[in-house]
Homo-oligomer: A and B are copies of this chain.
Amino acid sequence: MKPINVGLLGIGTVGGGTWTVLTRNQEEITRRAGRPIHIVKVADRDLELAKKLTAGQVAVTDDAFSVVSDPDIDIVVELIGGTTIAKDLVLLAISHGKHVVTANKALLAVHGNEIFAAAQKQGVMVAFEAAVAGGIPIIKAVREGLAANRIEWIAGIINGTTNFILTEMREKGLDFDVALKDAQRLGYAESDPTFDVEGIDAAHKLMILAAIGFGIPMQFDKAYTEGITQLTGDDIRYAEQLGYRVKLLGITKRTDAGIELRVHPTLIPEKRLIANVNGAMNAVLVKGDAVGPTLYYGKGAGAEPTASSVVADLVDVTRMCTADPHQRVPHLAFQPDKLSDLPISPMDEVRTAYYLRLRAKDQPGVLADITRILGDLNISIDAFLQKEPAEGEQEVDIIMLTHITVEKYINQAIIEIELLPTISGKVTRIRLEELNS
């Protein structure tokens, strides 16, 4: 069969990896796909870099728009990133009847509905395995591998930068600022780390996972996002003493009231496999009603791991480019006219357990006041840790783990606790998930 012609937009880290993997494994990939997959045109703002990497083997341009309108190109691979030019390019490629492979989580989380609708109308595929958890084939697992299941929840370590920082904080006893600097020095964090450390990148990926898990449209503006910048080394140590690890989790859960969609630091029992996912590695835990819990682990970023997913999509699209649309896996796992209108639950209504740390005067009656406040709100305490006051200090750290309650109740409790004259400063609140049901 004749080769499939690919136009590559962006030959930076992931684009370069895609070039490398497709070139190095060409023979093996052809044996799988049944026909060769050739990159025939590369667009990059850095023409010199593009020329150097491709060594004169293909046409190179700094005009990405000329690639998406090139009649010789079957599939456009968008690896530019961002939600402006990338959006124009993807929509234009679709309008020209081209299939699209993209690693752009922000683009899909924010503009996915428009993009998938356009693709549906044109009868083309938009594949996005590389958009979530890098090289882990999690989109395929949830969308196809678990197709028999009613997905109950998904919880993932889906940002390698923050997992690297949290691992450093725990293993070396560092505070956030120091661990962040380490991560930046080692290339795990960008000079402006906001997207990663504030949980925005994880929330983009979580939105995509929720969409394919529950068959809901993209609605990124409703995701709750809380980063790791406020975490202290103390909290990570206290959590460990109680048998927990702290991870930045993206959690999406189906409840009777709607879909929970939230990214935040989370205590997880240390005996869970996902609690032991360290460094920049990613892992996604998926609970289906038939299969139970399943976990998918691997590198969530980097040139070749991400390229692994880009090229897997290329193989899929190559096989299915001449197929009838109904033979293809729907973009969001469910037929486009069968999406769910389940609402996203407001954060106030989310049900979970909590880690609370507060600083109290070391005197009688403090605990009675706190437990009365919690009791009045029907919040029960699961575990309790009080540290001896340091020499010469009058105040102690009190740590409590609660049973499952509703977020608005814990927030009310915190307001009341902070008003107690025996409490100094703010109460630290970190959510806790057992991840076992």
Which positions in A face B, CB cutoff 8 Å? 1, 17, 21-22, 24-25, 28-29, 31-34, 129, 135-137, 140-141, 144-150, 215, 273, 276-277, 283, 288-299, 304-305, 307-312, 314-316, 319-320, 322-324, 326-330, 333-335, 338
A47 to chain B, nearest CB (A): 26
Provide the bound-state CA to CA distance between A268 and B322, in Å: 46
Q: A21-B149, A137-B140, A137-B141 are in contact. List 9 more A-B contacts (CB 8 A).
A: A32-B330, A32-B335, A141-B145, A146-B312, A148-B311, A148-B312, A290-B304, A291-B304, A319-B326
A328 to chain B, nearest CB (A): 7
Quickly give the copy total for this chain.
2
> 6 closest pairs, A vs B, by CB?
A137-B145, A148-B311, A294-B298, A135-B291, A291-B308, A295-B297
Max chain B Cβ within 10 angstroms of own Cβ: one of A17, A144, A150, A294: A294
Would you call A335 and B135 a contact (CB within 8 A)? no
Chain B residues lying within 8 Å of A129, measured Cβ to Cβ, are: 145
Provide the bound-state CA to CA distance between A312 and B141, in Å: 10
Would you call B273 and A277 a contact (CB within 8 A)? yes
Provide the bound-state CA to CA distance between A312 and B291, in Å: 11
Known: A289-B25, A297-B295. A145 touches B150 (CB 8 A): no
Chain B residues lying within 8 Å of A290, measured Cβ to Cβ, are: 17, 21, 25, 135, 304-305, 307-308, 311
Would you call B296 and A292 a contact (CB within 8 A)? no
Could you list 21 examples of A-B contacts with CB < 8 Å? Answer: A1-B326, A21-B290, A24-B150, A25-B148, A25-B149, A25-B289, A29-B147, A31-B215, A31-B335, A32-B147, A34-B335, A135-B292, A137-B141, A137-B144, A144-B315, A147-B311, A291-B309, A295-B296, A295-B298, A319-B328, A323-B323
A215 to chain B, nearest CB (A): 7
Would you call B334 and A31 a contact (CB within 8 A)? yes
Chain B residues lying within 8 Å of A294, measured Cβ to Cβ, are: 135-137, 296-299
Would you call B297 and A297 a contact (CB within 8 A)? yes
Provide the bound-state CA to CA distance between A294 and B276, in Å: 14
Provide the bound-state CA to CA distance between A290 and B25, in Å: 9
A310 to chain B: closest residue by CB: B148
Chain B residues lying within 8 Å of A140, measured Cβ to Cβ, are: 137, 140-141, 144-145
A288 to chain B: closest residue by CB: B308
Provide the bound-state CA to CA distance between A332 and B294, in Å: 24
A134 to chain B: closest residue by CB: B291
Residue among B146, B277, B312 making CB contact with A144, cutoff 8 Å = B312
Chain B residues lying within 8 Å of A289, measured Cβ to Cβ, are: 24-25, 304
Provide the bound-state CA to CA distance between A330 and B316, in Å: 12
Chain B residues lying within 8 Å of A28, measured Cβ to Cβ, are: 150
A3 to chain B, nearest CB (A): 14
Provide the bound-state CA to CA distance between A290 and B292, in Å: 30
Chain B residues lying within 8 Å of A31, measured Cβ to Cβ, are: 215, 334-335, 338
Would you call B316 and A144 a contact (CB within 8 A)? yes
Provide the bound-state CA to CA distance between A316 and B288, in Å: 18
Provide the bound-state CA to CA distance between A145 and B140, in Å: 7
A10 to chain B, nearest CB (A): 18
A295 to chain B: closest residue by CB: B297
Provide the bound-state CA to CA distance between A147 and B28, in Å: 9
Provide the bound-state CA to CA distance between A147 and B316, in Å: 9
Provide the bound-state CA to CA distance between A31 and B129, in Å: 21
Chain B residues lying within 8 Å of A326, measured Cβ to Cβ, are: 1, 34, 319
A335 to chain B, nearest CB (A): 5
A79 to chain B, nearest CB (A): 14
Provide the bound-state CA to CA distance between A322 and B304, in Å: 35
Chain B residues lying within 8 Å of A33, measured Cβ to Cβ, are: 147
